[in-house]
Amino acid sequence: MALRSTLIRDFLKPQHRCFSLKQLNSPRSRIIDVPPTFDGVRFDRFLMEHLKLPWALAHRQIRSKQSFVFHKKDADYEYVYKEQAYKMQKGDKVCMPKDIKTNDSPSENELSVSKLDESIVKGMAERLGDMIVYENEHIIVINKDNGVPSQMGSGLSMDVKGEIAVDKMLEAYMITNGHQGTGKLVHRLDRKTSGLMVLAKTKDMASRLSFLLRDKSNSTEPQIYKGYYALLCGTPKFKEGLLRQSYAEKETVWEVESLDDSRRLRVQSNGMLGRETEPFFDMRASFKVLTTAVVNPEGVISVLNDKETAPHSSEIFTYTRFVIDTGKKHQIRLHAQYALQTPIFADESHGYHTEKHSPILSQQYKTKVDSKKCIMLHAGELEIPLAPGTQQLEKFTGKFKAPMRKLLDHLQIPKGYYI
């Protein structure tokens, strides 16, 4: 943290929060002007889109406060760092370490697709084409495979044998098909999650979709719908309910409101007692258990009806639908791990352990799930506008990818619940 101290310590004192441009300059820092075209754009998006920082590096710079924003106030500049969601304004400047590579000195991973060999670009475009379920002049909707990252980051190699991210496939697709621009991601899926993503082909469409995804409070605007399907290990306390959880205190502060019985309110909560202030729930979603499969100690699989209970010592798996109202990173995975206390099958980084949750199933199921590339979470439903000026939404459904479909088949989940 020595570098952070070098950049911040000398001029972030409580009694001294306004500075001249000369004071901001440091041997180890650089000052970057924010172009007018980025007015209103989030701080993290500015680092990724203008300076071409990978997602992980951009957010690490913001969290550690090694990169931060100053806003012009009269003749001086005022420190206005407000985390990644801060909206850039006219007159802002960004202070960051000089040794961070930006678009002035791009790394190998950040080279433009247009500079790659033509055969590689064509292969990347074909790879995206294989996942497309809908396309018009404004958008592309894809059903992303498990193991495919949404955006290039550190550790990803841009070649035909490496892990090519969706954003680079999109750039290649736009070049190969003679479209203007590189296209834009407007939302992301985790690498291990499969399912529907919408990609914008024009700036107007990207702005429209980004606004709708960001602003849920405007009742005059159409509400984008995103439905997810997951296989959970265990049984949630409620079969249907609303989830509210704090991202900053994800492990300890959450509540689940039951919708099982409309005649009385039931809430399961954690981390509420003894608080001086109301918790800030910035992760919100709803869920509904669709059906439950049981593997008994002898390995016999059965599907329970609403009135049945699982035999003792059985492994229980609940096939569940989630609809999210917010879009935090790993949101459903965090809901499942902490609030519902039923981790997603194969999600080893969020509470799943084979020995604890599925030893019997793992022994009998011959098709192994590669937990390094795949978890049992699928973005199966997406409702979006098809053009920048329209209020009407179109609903898309994305079929399960092979890993999830085969496991659901093995557990005898009724195909009436499939999408």
Least Cα distance to 405 among 143, 191, 126, 198 occurs for 143
**Which string of DSSP letters, residue by residue, matches 88-143?**
P-TT-EEEEETTS--TTS--GGGS-GGGS-HHHHHHHHHHHHHHEEEE-SSEEEEE
State the pLDDT confidence band at 209, using cuts at 50, 70 and 90.
very high
Range among 108-122, 129-143, 293-307, 320-334 rated most confident: 129-143
Cβ atoms of 321 and 290 within 8 Å: the answer is yes
Q: What percent of the chain has pLDDT over 70?
A: 81
Nearest-angstrom CA–CA distance, 371 and 369:
6
Distances (CA, A) of 86 to 33, 43, 62, 77: 16, 5, 11, 16
Nearest 5°: phi and psi at 254? -160, 165
| Residue 345 tokens, joined | 């099958």
Nearest 5°: phi and psi at 348? -65, -25
| Residue 248 tokens, joined | 């900053």
Q: What percent of the chain has pLDDT over 90?
A: 45
Tell me the residue type at 171: E
Number of residues written out for the chain: 419
pLDDT at 3 (0 to 100): 40
| Residue 302 tokens, joined | 């059965």
Torsion sign, CA atoms 272, 351, 143, 168: positive
pLDDT tens-digit readout, 284-339: 999 999 999 999 999 999 999 877 777 777 899 999 999 999 888 899 999 999 99
Tell me the residue type at 345: F
Rounded to two decimals, what is the model's pTM? 0.76
The whole-number average pLDDT for the span 70-97 is 73
pLDDT at 15 (0 to 100): 38
State the pLDDT confidence band at 157, using cuts at 50, 70 and 90.
low
pLDDT at 100 (0 to 100): 77
Please check the confidence at residue 106 and state whether its pLDDT lies above 70. no
pLDDT at 302 (0 to 100): 93
Nearest-angstrom CA–CA distance, 418 and 244:
27
Nearest-angstrom CA–CA distance, 160 and 213:
32
pLDDT at 109 (0 to 100): 44
The whole-number average pLDDT for the span 117-124 is 90
Nearest-angstrom CA–CA distance, 286 and 309:
24
pLDDT at 30 (0 to 100): 82
- 49-53, 157-161, 318-322: which range is least confident on average? 157-161
| Residue 143 tokens, joined | 């059903």
| Residue 339 tokens, joined | 């609030």
Q: Which residues contact 25 (CB under 8 A, 6 or more apart)?
A: 31
Cβ atoms of 190 and 230 within 8 Å: the answer is no
Nearest-angstrom CA–CA distance, 238 and 261:
10
pLDDT tens-digit readout, 237-292: 999 999 999 988 888 889 999 987 655 557 788 876 666 667 788 899 999 999 99
